[in-house]
Amino acid sequence: MADTELGSFLPRMRLDDLLAELQNRLEAVLATRDRVHSLLEAVVSVGSELDLETVLHRIVESATALVNASYGALGVIGDQSTLIQFVPVGLTEEEIARIEHWPHGLGLLGLLIKEPQSLRLRDIADHPDSHGFPAGHPPMRSFLGVPIRVRDEIFGNLYLTEKRNGEFDEEDEAIVTALATAAGVAIENARLYEETRRREAWLEVSSEVTTSLLSGTDPHDVLVTLARRTRELTDADVVTISFGVAPDLLRVEIAEGLGAEELLGIELPAGDTVAGLVLRAAEPQVADFRSCPDAPENFKTGPSLSVPLGKGRLVRGVLGLGKRTGRMPFSAADLRMVQALAGQAAVALELAEARKDAERLGLLEDRDRIAKDLHDVVIQRLFAAAMTLMSVVRLVEKPEVTGRVQHVVDELDATIRQIRSTIFALHTPREEAAATVRGQLMDLVESARGHLGFMPGVRLEGALDTLVTPKIADHLLAVLREALSNVVRHAHATEVDVTVDARDNVLLLEVGDNGVGVPEEGRRSGLRNLAERAELLGGTFEVLRREPRGTCLSWQVPLS
């Protein structure tokens, strides 16, 4: 090659190298500019949210995107220098479900908690503090950890693993550190907003529950409202309220949210459940539902929180909350709020029951007073009036006057029996009346009113609720039902009288009407059933004619 050609070739090589170097630097500047723009966008995205859980997820998502990492997580540090929350990104729900447990802040993650400074590794396994991964955890090698500070306190750490195009470098560390600084401000704002919103909502729910219970609303409806509002406040997926139905048995009485239909009404041995432990110890429990048998089979369960309804010996039930696997665990603020709500609901329930008992006691006292006045004053005066009239009958010479006086005496005697029946009824509380023989008889007669078009006359005498056994009561109600049905279908009556009398070891039922009477020929299968019921109990049954028209069914059985 000629000297002139060599001289012209060397400058041209230097120029090409210079252009290549300039091109590389330009690309590096453009890449840096793009990463700075991405960092700014990530900071804006993180700072634009006020929901704490959403902020934490965005921080991890932004960090993994900025450094091209396959996996990312944010561990929130608790009071005892352990991880109380773990927010993963890059894992599917199935992969999360396969992991035996979340990291507790030991090993390499514990080192970052003890020494809050950036840590960059080529291979996690090479570090002396690495303890490996829990069962079911995907393999990871490259690692970048950066602490997140909120004011002067360490809130948690950002963990990034498995960079897709190589290893984490200094620039990655600088970018994630800058993001962590902005994340601390966003977390502080979200926490302040969350705390304010939580307190407002808590005060609203607390006031709603207490007002409802003390204003007379049914406690079950109030507890349903409590479960629903608690689920909204804590963002739980399912909320249950369980009560002990036996010393070793729990029943889920209220369920709201995911799997509520399957949970509602199930009974479980108290010793095998988290709710049973809470009921016995009267202390809240934070657990993983994967070891709890009171979760529905189709519910991929994760964090759970259970608190007692009440304190000490006054624990009335258990309020349980659960979330899906992979969701953020319940925070200490959630625990404090749910405990306060459960305690207030328990106190309000006690006050509501005490008020109900006081009202019931006052009602019973009034009824006892009225019954005593009726027995000691009214009945005695009526009996004295009847005795006086009986003595006057002997002095009356005209038969028609004697008949009228005797009729008045009979009416007074019937009135005395009716008042005695009323006294028996007064001693039965209204809420328990439907379960008594007297209450069932009245309900049956009341139900016939719509078919008859009028209310039958009723006279209930004697201690029906104490003398009539359940077996005899079943036959008695069946006979009365059949008798009233016959009157409705066949009698065309305008008056019906029902008398039930329990005295002298005999139970008498009479149903009289002013209808067309029983025909001489016709089907009598219904009457035959009444006779068979009387014979079964060793009694008698008769169908009598009334004058001037009508029928009287008389059904009588011994009470012994």
Within a 10 A sphere around the Cβ of 356, how many other Cβ atoms?
A: 13
Q: By C-alpha distance, which of 282, 263, 406 is closest to 321?
A: 263
Taking the domains of the chain in order of start, what are their residue ranges? Answer: 22-194, 220-354, 432-558
548: preceding bond cis by omega (within 30 degrees): yes
Strand 301-309: give its sheet, edge to edge. Answer: 267-269, 249-257, 238-246, 317-324, 301-309, 285-288
Dihedral of alpha carbons 88, 89, 91, 93, sign = positive
Query: Can you tell me the distance from the alpha carbon of 327 to that of 53, in angstroms, rounded to the nearest whole number?
Result: 9
478-494 burial, b for 16+ CB within 10 Å, e for fewer? ebbebbbebbbebbebe
What Rg value do the Cα atoms of the chain yield, rounded? 42
Q: Is the pTM of this model over 0.75?
A: no
Query: Can you tell me the distance from the alpha carbon of 500 to that of 425, in angstroms, rounded to the nearest whole number?
Result: 14
**Domain 22-194 = CATH 2.40.10.10:** no
Query: Can you tell me the distance from the alpha carbon of 308 to that of 317, in angstroms, rounded to the nearest whole number?
Result: 6
Local mean pLDDT, 10-residue blocks, the chain (560 residues): 51 63 57 56 64 78 83 76 75 74 66 80 79 73 85 81 84 83 78 78 78 74 84 85 78 84 78 73 68 46 80 76 76 80 76 76 78 75 80 77 81 75 62 68 85 86 85 91 88 90 90 83 70 92 87 91
- Residue 275: which residues within 8 A CB-CB, separation 6 or more? 240, 242, 250, 268, 294, 306, 318, 320
Please give the CATH number for the structural domain made up of 220-354.
3.30.450.40
**Burial of 527 by CB count in 10 Å (0-12 exposed, 13-18 middle, 19+ buried)?**
middle
Query: Can you tell me the distance from the alpha carbon of 530 to that of 374, in angstroms, rounded to the nearest whole number?
Result: 36
Q: What tokens were used for 451?
A: 């078919």
DSSP 102: -
Query: Can you tell me the distance from the alpha carbon of 503 to that of 167, in angstroms, rounded to the nearest whole number?
Result: 99
Please give the CATH number for the structural domain made up of 432-558.
3.30.565.10
pLDDT the model gives residue 163: 86
Q: How far is CA 70 from CA 41, 89, 100, 163, 286, in A?
A: 20, 9, 21, 6, 31
Strand 506-513: give its sheet, edge to edge. Answer: 457-462, 496-503, 506-513, 551-558, 540-545
Within a 10 A sphere around the Cβ of 92, how many other Cβ atoms?
A: 9
Give, for 333, the enclosing helix (H) or strand (E). Answer: helix 332-373
Q: How far is CA 349 from CA 219, 275, 318, in A?
A: 7, 20, 14
Do 220-354 and 22-194 have the same topology in CATH?
yes
Q: Phi first, then psi: what are they for 323, rounded to 5°?
A: -125, 165
pLDDT the model gives residue 292: 43
Dihedral angle of Cα 402, 403, 409, 411, to the nearest 10 degrees = -160
Three-state secondary structure of 167-208: CCCHHHHHHHHHHHHHHHHHHHHHHHHHHHHHHHHHHHHHHH
Q: Of how many residues is the chain composed?
A: 560
Q: By C-alpha distance, which of 336, 333, 349, 358 is closest to 243?
A: 349
